């Protein structure tokens, strides 16, 4: 079908003004809104274009950062609040968790050990410590970046303070009964960034280890080991696509290809090629609970032996009883780990990890020698969860027009300043995830002394386990109970009768330690894995799992983007690359000099045993031995550009290529160097010929993009379902490739269903096989045989616009049949074989597809894997291997047709038996789900669906928006491996941005972008979801960079002029009070109101409800005043009798006396919180004491002169008549001298 832009999902707003022909600069545009702030050093303008994208024109980075924070919070405040809370472990404080509430009729029914939702997630993140690492990271950053992050936080807090004071919180807070938002800090921005990197880099090695153990338990070793790594979960990809080798014109063949070569041809399974499974493992560190008594006893001995090999001298061998006790503790450790991970993986922050094997990102670039214009072109589409609002936020920053050096546009996150993917006047860049292994899990040997202090053991020596505070709070008033209703919470035997936001840590202490436990040499102990629990004093032989992760160190990846945003060439880009320490990415690059380059980034630890040339125990992608032999190699002195305190892979060995000989490169989360091509990711590192990088790569999208490029250049024959090439690549070609929905996996597997039906219908077929053929099977076979492997919806829809052609209808039906049938095939082959042997493990999508291809592609077919297991054994018959293969294929096709005509697909197909009705678009749809409607807790918040796109619950079926694409297509829309109902083929992850940029000698020639949603996160506003249909139809909008283009496409201009200076005297702006002339300027109030302040001693301001100075903009019975506090003012207005001018030096302590934090009136409590937040934002705080009178002590006295911060306060009318509110503060210098200030604000009708 035709694929192009459509009318936006939300009707675009009418232009606030029509730019005149004379408008050439943003200052020529009329002003729609004005916002004044004392924090700015010069005026700032924000131009919103026709998609609501802000173009920020400022003079300095700090001014731009302040306004970006303000704009982000205006558009996306609830999203920002949630995504700073996830890595901080405080989501439950706002979202709560309804399953945690136990009704009074059954007060002792504990929700634990069932799923406790967000609490599970909060426990994990508080334990892991991303926020602790964010604090360390902030301290490691340059002063310029720290200042920009503080300015950004100040801008965000302007919005937070205003909505707190006015009671106009974003609508999402309504169902949660939240009336106050905590202030933003620079640490929030860094924690937010670390969360994004965590989601793309953290590995649950425990999960993989348990899967291995499950298979070994069913088949024993070594059969189970070989079955897992060679047959069920191969590391070797199924497609030959490796970034650097392919770009170098040096392709690496897959080891599995040898299985199809003549040398391997034979009729027995004995000719299966030798196993290339992962290195051998010590059973000690693989979930011994899965092996039974003998296995767990052997586990204890093996750990002891491993420690002995590492240098420990054993005083004596443990007794049988001691070994059994150790084994029991370890069994409990692994059992608890499995239970906890099962809960945790259902949580939203784990979505990216959970789906990492079936989603990804695409990027590729071509140099000018193969394009129609002679310019390099870059395409990029990162894949993440598709929610509402969108993950990314589009942004343009320009300081160049006003004397600075920034002019950059692209996408970032509402939560931090800057552009993370985009282009400026000289360079363009994009990224995909590089799934490197930067997480190690360790089985720890734990003991305690007589006082109950905990120790881990390394080389036989006890090492103290660090304990840090832990506190988890839950919002009970989260819309699921009546306000102020008391709710009984119960965990195990403890109960609380509560309402509000409740500390549940005492309840959880029955399950987990009430502290964060950290093994010093490794990292935090994973929740619930300390066993036995409670851990008694004088205990030996205990165990736990600890986590070592590069994201827990002071890293500086956010600084990278500040460098790139103003980079002018490849050298600048490479300099910024050195700062990207954590959350490995693959970066694509082009520039105005014609350069094309690919770089991986990150710091990858070197393990001591791998470096020594022999794996000790388990490989690093399984659970390792915490007692010695598996350490990251410490590095005593770090180079200036390194953050992780260990030996890391040298920069020269990190995958990269500049100006590739092939004239293009492709990365779509595939192996960048080909280390996994032989199914062994470690042998290069063990031999010293290359680094160990990781195992979790994808392959089909990279292979298809490579195929599309080569086809367009006429380097290969035109593949099925692909337009013929013309020998060059154009900008439009790159867009078409990005929209490609050809299912390469289907091309390789669908043919086997066709052949099986043909074999069944051929003369001489055994009756058992021949009897399976019927008219519906034949119809399905014919659709699959005619399939071009494109995956259209089959009808005109925003996600696949245009009337379908006859071939589109064939392709649509074939897509449906194939994707259901291949799932049934996995069920009847791998799943059946595993179930018959009592194995609970089931393959993920990538593993299952790789396994099927390896078995079905092998000539001659045997169905027998490297393990000797026959996965194509149809136990109902006794036929040849090929005939039993055909039996299972035809049976799978029949099962798929029965499902499609059955009850579980009734909403989509109404029980129809006609394959013509099985259109793909009726099953393949997306819901852009809101945070409140399942995206952040499994039990949905009532009314949360109103924030989804389309709103939920939706009338009719499908409930979402149909679109083309499928599993592993370039324009990806993945789903599970085993669909069994009409909701199982929907998808929730995909391209979060599509971008194509062409760079000429004078800068960007063409630049297009789109996001799956809109800029605004507020339902009902014009730019909420206004790009959804554009995104669905693979359309784009221009990514505006030149000021003339911004002006030509302007929708509204927002002006941010400077407020008059605090100490200006005509009229006097600040209100210093009536104290000593030489101390009055230590602190001063200022109110952004039109009152004439000719007398500087005045401390009274009057505001009229709904008039100037009332910042809620309405005559609603409440005045919202914009209040500023300035410190260390050099105030020429204040002189003593000797003519001395007031000159403040520093502020060491600040007291907020009125309003009180424990005031009885809600507006006073809100005002107190806002003023306290303002004062805390002046500088790092050492301590905060008191709630009645709040005293803030600064870590270092504030010496910056004329330092101003602002907030908003609420002054309601009393019964329609005027009302006053008093504010009293005291600022104290380091020498003890203080300045008392007071302010009275009167609100009048």
Give pLDDT tens digits for 787-798: 999 999 999 999
**What CATH number did the domain enclosing 1231 receive?**
2.60.40
Range with the poorest average pLDDT among 355-364, 727-736, 1007-1016 = 355-364
461 within some domain:
no
Task: Report the candidate in 1040, 1048, 1054 with the shortest Cα–Cα distance to residue 18.
Answer: 1048
Task: Report the candidate in 1003, 247, 1008 with the shortest Cα–Cα distance to residue 591.
Answer: 1003
Structural tokens at position 432: 């995909």
As a whole number of angstroms, the distance between CA 950 and CA 931 comes to 14
Residues 6+ apart with CB under 8 A from 283: 221, 291, 295, 298, 299, 302
Residues 6+ apart with CB under 8 A from 305: none
Residue 356 has a pLDDT of 59
Quick one: 941 exposed, middle or buried, by C-beta within 10 A (0-12, 13-18, 19+)?
Answer: buried
Task: Report the candidate in 201, 259, 253, 209 with the shortest Cα–Cα distance to residue 231.
Answer: 259
Range with the poorest average pLDDT among 201-205, 461-465, 537-541, 689-693 = 201-205
As a whole number of angstroms, the distance between CA 666 and CA 659 comes to 13
Asked whether 86 and 97 are in contact (CB, 8 A), the reply is no
Structural tokens at position 1033: 């139809």
| Structural element, H or E, at residue 1221 | strand 1219-1228
Residue 1070 has a pLDDT of 78
Q: Please state the pTM of the whole predicted model.
A: 0.91
Concatenating the DSSP letter of every residue in 60-98 gives SHHHHHHHHHHHHHHHHHHHHHHHHHHHHT-THHHH--G
Query: What is the bridge-based pairing of β-strands 961-962 and 54-57?
Result: unpaired
Enumerate the β-bridge partners of residue 49.
1050
Residue 101 has a pLDDT of 38
Structural tokens at position 276: 């290339």
Asked whether 310 and 629 are in contact (CB, 8 A), the reply is yes
**Confidence grade of residue 257 (pLDDT, cut at 50, 70, 90):** very low
pLDDT, mean of residues 1089-1104: 69
As a whole number of angstroms, the distance between CA 1108 and CA 1001 comes to 51
Give the model confidence (pLDDT) of 582-602 as tens digits. 989 999 999 999 999 999 999
As a whole number of angstroms, the distance between CA 1085 and CA 1079 comes to 14
Enumerate the β-bridge partners of residue 1141.
1135
At which of 903, 922, 941 does a domain end? Answer: 922
Query: What is the bridge-based pairing of β-strands 1050-1056 and 33-34?
Result: parallel
Range with the poorest average pLDDT among 78-87, 217-226, 562-571 = 217-226
Residue 486 has a pLDDT of 36
Structural tokens at position 534: 């409670």
For residue 698, pLDDT beyond 80: yes
**Confidence grade of residue 1091 (pLDDT, cut at 50, 70, 90):** low
> What are the backbone angles phi and psi of residue 593, rounded to the nearest 5°?
-90, 0
pLDDT, mean of residues 709-713: 98
DSSP letter for 1207, please. Answer: E
Task: Report the candidate in 483, 471, 491 with the shortest Cα–Cα distance to residue 116.
Answer: 491
736 within some domain:
no
Structural tokens at position 338: 């499995």
Share the mean pLDDT of the chain: 87
Structural tokens at position 1205: 């911060």
**Confidence grade of residue 838 (pLDDT, cut at 50, 70, 90):** very high
Per the structure, the complete domain to which residue 1116 belongs is given by: 1083-1244
Give the model confidence (pLDDT) of 8-64 as tens digits. 233 233 334 554 556 789 999 999 999 988 889 999 999 999 999 999 999 999 999
Residue 4 has a pLDDT of 35
Asked whether 383 and 361 are in contact (CB, 8 A), the reply is yes
Enumerate the β-bridge partners of residue 410.
395, 422
As a whole number of angstroms, the distance between CA 300 and CA 323 comes to 6
pLDDT, mean of residues 202-217: 76
Q: What is the dihedral of CA 390, 391, 394, 398, to 10 degrees?
A: 150
* Angle of the 775-786 helix axis to the 881-900 helix axis, nearest 10: 100
Helix (H, G, I), strand (E, B) or coil at 992: coil
What counts of helices (H) and strands (E) characterise the chain?
Answer: 30, 44
**Confidence grade of residue 654 (pLDDT, cut at 50, 70, 90):** very high
1105 within some domain:
yes
pLDDT, mean of residues 334-346: 83
Residue 371 has a pLDDT of 99
pLDDT, mean of residues 764-783: 98
The number of folded domains in the chain is 2
Q: C-alpha distances in angstroms, 685 versus 205, 599, 616?
A: 20, 20, 14
For residue 913, pLDDT beyond 70: yes
As a whole number of angstroms, the distance between CA 570 and CA 564 comes to 10
At which of 922, 942, 971 does a domain end? Answer: 922
Place of tokens 């040997």: 445
Beta strands in 273-426 (DSSP E): 361-366, 377-385, 387-388, 393-398, 407-412, 421-424
As a whole number of angstroms, the distance between CA 148 and CA 404 comes to 14
For residue 265, pLDDT beyond 70: no
Q: C-alpha distances in angstroms, 759 versus 748, 762, 897?
A: 18, 5, 19
pLDDT, mean of residues 907-914: 98
pLDDT, mean of residues 702-724: 98
> What are the backbone angles phi and psi of residue 1228, rounded to the nearest 5°?
-120, 130
Give the model confidence (pLDDT) of 919-933 as tens digits. 999 999 999 999 888
**Confidence grade of residue 357 (pLDDT, cut at 50, 70, 90):** low
As a whole number of angstroms, the distance between CA 920 and CA 913 comes to 15
At which of 900, 922, 944 does a domain end? Answer: 922
Give the model confidence (pLDDT) of 119-156 as tens digits. 888 999 999 999 999 999 999 999 999 999 999 999 99
Residue 223 has a pLDDT of 87
Helix (H, G, I), strand (E, B) or coil at 1026: coil
Q: Quick one: what percent of the chain has pLDDT higher than 70?
A: 86
Helix (H, G, I), strand (E, B) or coil at 63: helix
CB atoms within 10 A of CB 823: 25
Residue 934 has a pLDDT of 67
Cis peptide before 625 (omega within 30 of 0): no
Place of tokens 């020698």: 369
Helix (H, G, I), strand (E, B) or coil at 485: coil
For residue 492, pLDDT beyond 60: no
Structural tokens at position 386: 């598709």
790 within some domain:
yes
Asked whether 1039 and 994 are in contact (CB, 8 A), the reply is no
As a whole number of angstroms, the distance between CA 591 and CA 375 comes to 9
**Confidence grade of residue 392 (pLDDT, cut at 50, 70, 90):** very high
757 within some domain:
yes
Task: Report the candidate in 742, 700, 745 with the shortest Cα–Cα distance to residue 723.
Answer: 742
Enumerate the β-bridge partners of residue 489.
496
Asked whether 344 and 207 are in contact (CB, 8 A), the reply is no
SS (H, E, C) 1061-1102: CCCCECCECCECCCCCCCCCCCEEEEECCCCCCCCCCCCEEE
More confident residue, 335 or 1019: 1019
**Confidence grade of residue 474 (pLDDT, cut at 50, 70, 90):** confident
As a whole number of angstroms, the distance between CA 291 and CA 299 comes to 10
Cis peptide before 197 (omega within 30 of 0): no
The radius of gyration of the chain from alpha carbons, rounded to an integer in Å, stands at 32
Residue 11 has a pLDDT of 29
More confident residue, 92 or 521: 521
Structural tokens at position 475: 């919002």
Structural tokens at position 930: 């809101």
193 within some domain:
no
Helix (H, G, I), strand (E, B) or coil at 489: strand
As a whole number of angstroms, the distance between CA 409 and CA 397 comes to 6
Task: Report the candidate in 1056, 1153, 892, 983 with the shortest Cα–Cα distance to residue 47.
Answer: 1056
Structural tokens at position 442: 């360790």
**Confidence grade of residue 1066 (pLDDT, cut at 50, 70, 90):** low
Structural tokens at position 1241: 């604000």
């Amino acid at each position: 079908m035709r694929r192009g832009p459509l009318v936006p999902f939300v009707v675009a707003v009418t232009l606030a003004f029509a730019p005149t022909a004379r408008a050439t600069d943003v200052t020529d545009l009329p002003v729609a809104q004005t916002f004044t702030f004392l924090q700015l050093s010069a005026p700032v303008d924000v131009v919103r274009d026709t998609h609501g994208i802000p173009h920020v024109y400022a003079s300095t980075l700090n001014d731009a950062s302040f306004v970006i924070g303000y704009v982000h919070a205006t558009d996306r405040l609830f999203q920002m609040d949630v995504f700073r809370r996830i890595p901080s472990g405080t989501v439950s404080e706002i979202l709560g968790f309804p399953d945690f509430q136990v009704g009074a009729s059954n007060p002792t029914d504990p929700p634990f050990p069932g799923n406790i939702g967000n609490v599970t997630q909060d426990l994990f993140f508080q334990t892991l410590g991303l926020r602790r690492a964010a604090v360390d990271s902030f301290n490691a950053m340059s002063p310029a970046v720290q200042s920009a992050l503080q300015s950004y936080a100040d801008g965000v807090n302007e919005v937070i303070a205003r909505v707190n004071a006015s009671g106009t919180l974003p609508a999402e807070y309504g169902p949660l009964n939240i009336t106050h938002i905590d202030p933003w800090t620079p640490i929030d921005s860094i924690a937010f960034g670390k969360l994004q990197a965590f989601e793309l880099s953290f590995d649950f090695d425990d999960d993989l280890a348990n899967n291995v153990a499950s298979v070994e338990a069913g088949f024993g070793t070594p059969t189970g080991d070989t079955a897992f790594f060679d047959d069920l979960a191969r590391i070797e990809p199924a497609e030959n696509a490796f970034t650097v080798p392919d770009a170098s014109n040096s392709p690496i063949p897959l080891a599995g290809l040898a299985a199809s070569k003549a040398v391997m041809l034979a009729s027995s399974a004995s000719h299966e090629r030798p196993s290339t499974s992962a290195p051998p493992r010590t059973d000690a560190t693989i979930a011994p609970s899965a092996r039974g008594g003998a296995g767990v006893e052997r586990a204890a001995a093996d750990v002891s032996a491993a420690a002995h090999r590492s240098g420990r001298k054993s005083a004596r061998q443990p007794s049988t009883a001691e070994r059994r006790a150790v084994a029991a503790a370890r069994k409990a450790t692994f059992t608890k780990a499995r239970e906890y991970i099962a809960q945790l993986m259902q949580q939203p922050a784990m979505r990216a990890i959970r789906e990492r094997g079936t989603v990804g990102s695409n990027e590729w670039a071509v140099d000018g020698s193969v394009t129609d214009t002679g310019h390099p072109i870059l395409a990029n589409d990162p894949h993440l969860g598709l929610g509402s609002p969108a993950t990314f936020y589009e942004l343009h920053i320009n300081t160049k027009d006003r004397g600075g050096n920034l002019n950059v546009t692209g996408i970032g996150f509402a939560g931090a300043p800057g552009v993370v993917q985009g282009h400026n006047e000289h360079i363009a860049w994009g990224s995909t995830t590089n799934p490197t292994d930067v997480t190690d899990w360790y089985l720890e040997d734990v003991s305690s002394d007589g006082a109950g202090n905990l120790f881990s053991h390394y080389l036989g020596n006890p090492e103290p386990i660090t304990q840090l505070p832990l506190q988890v709070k839950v919002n009970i008033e989260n819309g699921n109970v009546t306000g102020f209703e008391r709710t009984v919470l119960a965990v195990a035997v403890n109960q609380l009768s509560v309402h509000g936001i409740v500390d549940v840590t005492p309840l959880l202490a029955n399950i987990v330690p009430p502290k964060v436990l950290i093994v010093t040499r490794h990292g935090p102990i994973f929740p619930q894995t300390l066993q036995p629990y409670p851990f008694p004093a004088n205990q030996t032989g205990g165990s736990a799992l600890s986590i070592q992760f590069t994201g827990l160190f002071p890293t500086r990846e956010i600084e990278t983007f500040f460098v790139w945003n103003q980079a002018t060439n490849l050298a600048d880009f490479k300099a910024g690359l050195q700062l990207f320490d954590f959350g490995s990415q693959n970066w694509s690059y082009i520039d105005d000099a014609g350069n094309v380059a690919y770089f991986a980034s990150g710091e990858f630890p070197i393990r001591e045993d791998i470096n020594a040339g022999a794996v000790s125990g388990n490989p690093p992608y399984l659970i390792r031995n915490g007692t010695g032999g598996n350490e990251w190699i410490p590095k005593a002195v770090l180079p200036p550009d390194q953050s992780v305190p260990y030996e890391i892979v040298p920069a020269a060995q990190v995958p990269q290529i500049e100006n590739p000989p092939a004239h293009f490169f492709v990365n779509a989360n595939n192996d960048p160097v080909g280390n996994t091509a032989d199914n062994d990711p470690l042998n290069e590192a063990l031999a010293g010929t290359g680094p160990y990088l990781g195992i979790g790569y994808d392959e089909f999208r990279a292979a298809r993009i490579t195929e599309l490029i080569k086809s367009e250049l006429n380097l290969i024959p035109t593949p099925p379902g692909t337009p013929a090439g013309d020998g060059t690549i154009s900008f439009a070609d790159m867009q078409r490739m990005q929209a490609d929905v050809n299912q390469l996996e289907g091309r390789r597997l669908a043919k086997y269903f066709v052949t099986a039906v043909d074999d069944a219908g051929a003369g001489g077929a055994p009756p058992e096989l021949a009897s399976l053929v019927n008219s519906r099977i034949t119809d399905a076979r014919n659709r699959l045989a005619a399939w071009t492997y494109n995956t259209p919806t089959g009808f005109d829809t925003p996600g696949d616009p245009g009337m379908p052609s006859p071939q589109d209808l064939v392709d649509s039906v074939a897509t449906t049949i194939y994707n259901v049938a291949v799932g049934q095939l996995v069920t009847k082959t791998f799943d059946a074989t595993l179930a018959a042997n009592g194995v609970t493990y089931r393959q993920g999508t990538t593993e299952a597809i790789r396994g099927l291809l390896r078995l079905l592609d092998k000539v001659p077919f045997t169905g027998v894997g490297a393990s000797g297991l026959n996965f194509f054994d149809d136990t109902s018959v006794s036929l040849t291997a090929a005939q039993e293969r055909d039996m299972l294929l035809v049976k799978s096709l029949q099962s798929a047709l029965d499902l499609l005509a059955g009850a579980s697909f009734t909403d989509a197909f109404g029980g129809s038996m006609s394959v013509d009705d099985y259109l793909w678009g009726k099953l393949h749809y997306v819901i852009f789900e809101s945070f409140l409607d399942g995206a952040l807790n499994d039990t949905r918040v009532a009314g949360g669906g109103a924030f989804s796109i389309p709103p939920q619950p939706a009338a009719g079926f499908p409930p979402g928006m149909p679109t083309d694409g499928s599993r592993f297509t370039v324009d990806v829309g993945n789903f599970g491996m085993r669909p069994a109902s009409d909701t199982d083929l929907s998808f929730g992850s995909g391209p979060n941005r599509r971008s194509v940029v062409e760079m000429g000698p004078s800068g960007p020639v063409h630049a297009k972008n789109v996001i799956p949603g809109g800029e605004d996160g507020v339902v009902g506003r014009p730019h909420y979801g206004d790009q959804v249909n554009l995104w669905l139809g693979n359309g784009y909008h221009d990514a505006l960079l030149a000021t003339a283009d911004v002006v030509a496409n302007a929708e509204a201009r927002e002006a941010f002029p400077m407020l008059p200076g605090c100490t200006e005297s005509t009229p006097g702006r600040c209100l210093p009070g009536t104290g000593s002339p030489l101390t009055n300027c230590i602190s001063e109030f200022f109110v952004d109101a039109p009152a004439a302040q000719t007398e500087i001693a005045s401390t009274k301001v009057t505001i009229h409800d709904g008039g100037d100075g009332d910042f809620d903009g309405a005559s609603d019975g409440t005045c919202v005043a914009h209040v500023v506090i300035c410190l260390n003012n050099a105030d020429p207005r204040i002189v003593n009798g000797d003519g001395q001018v007031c000159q403040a030096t520093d502020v060491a302590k600040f007291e907020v006396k009125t309003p009180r934090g424990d005031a009885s009136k809600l507006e006073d409590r809100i005002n107190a919180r806002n003023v306290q937040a303002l004062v805390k934002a002046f500088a790092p705080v050492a301590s905060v004491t008191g709630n009645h009178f709040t005293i803030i002590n600064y870590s270092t006295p504030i010496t910056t002169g004329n330092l101003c911060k602002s907030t908003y306060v609420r002054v309601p009318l009393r019964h329609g008549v005027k009302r006053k509110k008093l504010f009293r503060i005291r600022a104290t210098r380091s020498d003890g001298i203080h300045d008392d200030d007071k302010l009275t604000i009167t609100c009048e009708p």
